[in-house]
Structure 1
Amino acid sequence: MGVIFLETNSSQPEFDKPFSDYEHQLTKLKRRGIYFPDSEKTNVLSLIKQHGYYQLINGYADAFEISNQSHEKSYANGTEFNDVFAQFYFDRTLGNLLFRYLLNVEENFTNLLSYEVAKKFGVNNYYGSDLLNQFPSVMSYLDMRRYTNSNTSSLTKLHNLSLNCQKDPTKWYRENCNHIPPWILLMNAELGITINYFKILPFDIKKEIISNLIPPVLQYEQYEEYECSRRSRRSGRDYSELDIQSGYSHLFVNGLNLMREFRNCIAHNNRLYKFRSKFTVSSLIRNIPRSTTIYSTEEYYNGIGKNDLFSLLIWIIICQPNKAINLLFIDSLHSTLESFKEADPSNSFFVGSELPGDYYNRLKEYINDIR
């Protein structure tokens, strides 16, 4: 067979973002107004190689951006590369702090869920027709007949995971034991699947899980009393217990999903301090414990404490096991953020995050309100 030559157009395509070598990237920085001395060129180049031009400049230089008549971005006079890198460094440092607490909440939630499911539905993961099932007379805890919710896709995913997962400990249990209990299987499940599984559980199991994760002042009985009174006043009629239960589950699931999205943002090294989740935390977490100082109604409707960084901090506090850990959390947070203030005299990091200036006092009072 002969060699096939493809016809090519002599004109070069005009891509919006063509390849740009490192030298060109450094030249572009200076042309746009981001200064660094020649003595720092090697260090700047090293940071761009490590983190990428897009991550550093497009992600964190917008605080210094100014408008001009050209289509190219430009930055305010006096903007230094170190100013931009500081925003990046602050964001990653804050993310590392929050990530530890988010993983702890996730672990606690997963363990509580596994415990309640095993207590209620047993430990057999296999369906009756599964070849590995040594106890076909024992209904699986993943059997769809145990769940009244029609959206059972999470059961299918968890069942497939138990049969096909190639990671330990699930793989080891499948190859060496006669079943895979929930506390093992869910260690290899994505958090999104675990949350969707929680959503279809009977309410009595949900209630038990939630009661062990959040403080008493926000548990179902207090929520029920508050919501029945509020809904009756607004509509003049009573609501069913099913409505109240559904609202309570929704409040909790939204909080978990907000945490999941922030966790994924951090895990993928995306910009944290300006991140907004598509899930919102209900203002009931303020109203039920009557925490009047955490945020105002006007602030909430402007997004403060709704789906922003501040809402994440509040939800982390809600899901901590005790007051001592909460105080340790906000003290660590405060120490970290205060160090940012010293290195960021323009306060651009705080302006971008929209954290209330008195966030520490608000969070501390909120801890006292719920604990």
Structure 2
Amino acid sequence: MKKSKTFRTYTEQIDLMRSRGIGVPDRREALEALSTFSYYSLVNLNKHLYGGLDKRDFEGNPTLLDLQLAHMLNMNFYHLLLKGILYIEASFKTKLAYLVSREFGTQSGDTESSRHDFLGEEHYDRSNRASEGVLRALRNKLRFLLSDSNQNSYSHQFLAGNRQLPPWMFVHDIEFGLAIQWYKILKKSDREEICVKMIQGETGEPLSGPALDLSCDFFLAALELLREYRNTIAHGERVFPSEMAASLPEEPLFAVLPAGILSPEEYRLGTGLKDPFACLVTIVFFIHDPILMLSFLTEIRSQLDFARLIQENGTAGSLDSHQILGIPPFTLERLIRLSHHRFGGLSE
């Protein structure tokens, strides 16, 4: 039989916080905080900052205000991270749909053998045992878009008009994870083309040989890392890098990163492996538009300035904002350096 949790009133929650080493100087403010953010968000999701998830009592004498500020910083920062991931997801899907449309056509039916069907099996890597299942999932998604349960969507209205849904429209209706699976069943040359466009940009220099192989290894690992962060943040869960399954492999990462962005020593200590810094570097690395880069870096700077202001006005139990966010102090400096490598000073 599963162990049940005990319901506690806000007053009881305040007493429990005090018993665990959390300062609650103002009961009225505490009642408002608990009814706004919840005990779980303020206490349970911040345990790792004050002693560890396995500890009952909080170390360092934090106040409820410290926990509120930590929660707000995390929410703001990870919403920004999610926005950056969505930029890259859109770029990836655009390039995927462009290649599929150009090479395989713009029509799709239920037949699995038509050369003009962009989901026809002959267009994909038949040696990949996942191909059949992924193509089935994509066809099922197309059928779902035509179903009555989806009748209010633009795609349904488009299909209901007896029109084909082209790849550049269809790709926006599929999950990031399914788009990645779609990419993985492409033939090698098609996968490489998308990889090079994502890494070098549409007008960048081509890659070949070992550099291309390592770039493709990095690209696929980066997509999986972004997908995992995206899903975790979008579901309202706190990001704990130690629980992330995806990571950036060392050799491919250092093969594509410019010098001065990350050192091997920093990587071996966990920075750039699967932490938020790894996610940020991946986002910035895949941005090829200077205005988009400027916008994203400006928002990061704004968030870190806000975090610094909060820290300066915090209590004795306040933690360093970088520690709260799980990023190294040099984060913004390195991201700007990566941006300068691509655009010069245009993106600062």
Q: Is TM-score (shorter-chain normalized) higher than 0.5?
A: yes
Residue-pair matches, total: 330
2:247–2:273 CA contact under 8 A, matched in 1: yes
Pick closer, same or farther for the CA change 1:29–1:277 going to 2, 3 Å: same
Counterpart residue type for residue 360 of structure 1: L
Give the structure 2 partner of residue 342 of structure 1: 309
TM-score by length of structure 1 reads: 0.78
Counterpart residue type for residue 244 of structure 2: S
What percentage of aligned pairs have identical amino acids? Answer: 22
Give the structure 2 partner of residue 250 of structure 1: 217
Counterpart residue type for residue 280 of structure 1: S
Give the structure 2 partner of residue 361 of structure 1: 333
Give the structure 2 partner of residue 150 of structure 1: 129
**265, 285, 293: which one pairs with 1:326?**
293
Alpha-carbon distance in 2 for matches of 1:221, 1:126: 35
Residues 257-296 of structure 1 mapped to structure 2, 5 A cutoff? 257-272=224-239, 277-284=244-251, 287-288=254-255, 291-296=258-263
| Cα drift, residue 273 of structure 1 | 7.0
CA offsets per residue over residues 26-75 of structure 1, 9 Å max, x none? 2211222222234x42x4333323433222211014323489xxx97222
| Cα drift, residue 77 of structure 1 | 6.1
Give the structure 1 partner of residue 346 of structure 2: none
Residues 212-223 of structure 1 mapped to structure 2, 5 A cutoff? 212-215=197-200, 221-222=206-207
Pick closer, same or farther for the CA change 1:192–1:269 going to 2, 3 Å: same
Counterpart residue type for residue 150 of structure 1: R
Residues 97-246 of structure 1 mapped to structure 2, 5 A cutoff? 97-128=80-111, 139-148=116-125, 149-152=128-131, 153-165=133-145, 166-167=149-150, 168-215=153-200, 221-222=206-207, 224-226=209-211, 244=213
| Cα drift, residue 196 of structure 1 | 0.5
Q: Which consecutive aligned stretches of 4+ in structure 1 deviate over 6 angstroms post-superposition?
A: 217-220
- Give ranges in structure 1 of 5+ residues lacking alignment: 1-12, 130-135, 228-243
Counterpart residue type for residue 281 of structure 2: I
Alpha-carbon distance in 1 for matches of 2:268, 2:97: 36
1:222–1:288 CA contact under 8 A, matched in 2: no
Q: What root-mean-square deviation, in Å, do the aligned CA atoms of Structure 1 and Structure 2 show?
A: 3.0
1:286–1:292 CA contact under 8 A, matched in 2: no
2:159–2:165 CA contact under 8 A, matched in 1: yes
TM-score by length of structure 2 reads: 0.83
Deviates more, 1:154-163 or 1:327-336: 327-336
Alpha-carbon distance in 2 for matches of 1:81, 1:340: 17
SS in 2 for 1:75: coil
Pick closer, same or farther for the CA change 1:300–1:258 going to 2, 3 Å: same
2:276–2:327 CA contact under 8 A, matched in 1: yes
Alpha-carbon distance in 2 for matches of 1:14, 1:142: 46
Answer yes or no: is 1:34 the counterpart of 2:22: yes
- Give ranges in structure 2 of 5+ residues lacking alignment: 313-317, 344-348
CA offsets per residue over residues 197-228 of structure 1, 9 Å max, x none? 0011123322332333333699784463547x
| Cα drift, residue 306 of structure 1 | 1.2
Answer yes or no: is 1:23 the counterpart of 2:11: yes
| Cα drift, residue 16 of structure 1 | 5.7
Pick closer, same or farther for the CA change 1:211–1:161 going to 2, 3 Å: same
2:284–2:339 CA contact under 8 A, matched in 1: yes
Give the structure 1 partner of residue 39 of structure 2: 53
